[in-house]
Amino acid sequence: MCKDTAAQEISLEALGLLQALLHHDYDEAQLRANHMVRCALQHDHLKVADAAEKIEALLSCGCPNSMELRIALRCLTTSVDGMQEAAPPLPGLPS
């Protein structure tokens, strides 16, 4: 999998994570965070992996502390944004 495809997959998992949190499905959110960690590590997106790992740890106990979760989500968002900016544009899409 090339880096731009990995960035796209991680971004989609991040959206799934947010949707699961919106519906208070913490098991699904933890699964999504775990998948983000594995994919990010595989493609050397270490900041994304660290942020997703923090969220996964917060979710491991069930309903997380909302303030800690907000901080971790902000960190994840910043990391995913940085990863997307570093990824080469997909062919056929405007940059």
Phi, psi of 88 (to 5 degrees): -65, 150
Q: Please tell me the predicted confidence (pLDDT) of residue 88.
A: 62
> Is-contact 59 36, C-beta < 8 A?
no
Sign of CA dihedral 86, 3, 12, 20: negative
33 vs 8 pLDDT, higher one:
33
User: Mean per-residue pLDDT for 36-51?
Assistant: 92
Sign of CA dihedral 24, 26, 27, 33: positive
Query: Helices 46-59 and 66-86: crossing angle, nearest 10°?
Result: 160
- Does 82 have pLDDT greater than 90? no
The pLDDT-based confidence of 7 (bands split at 50, 70, 90) is: confident
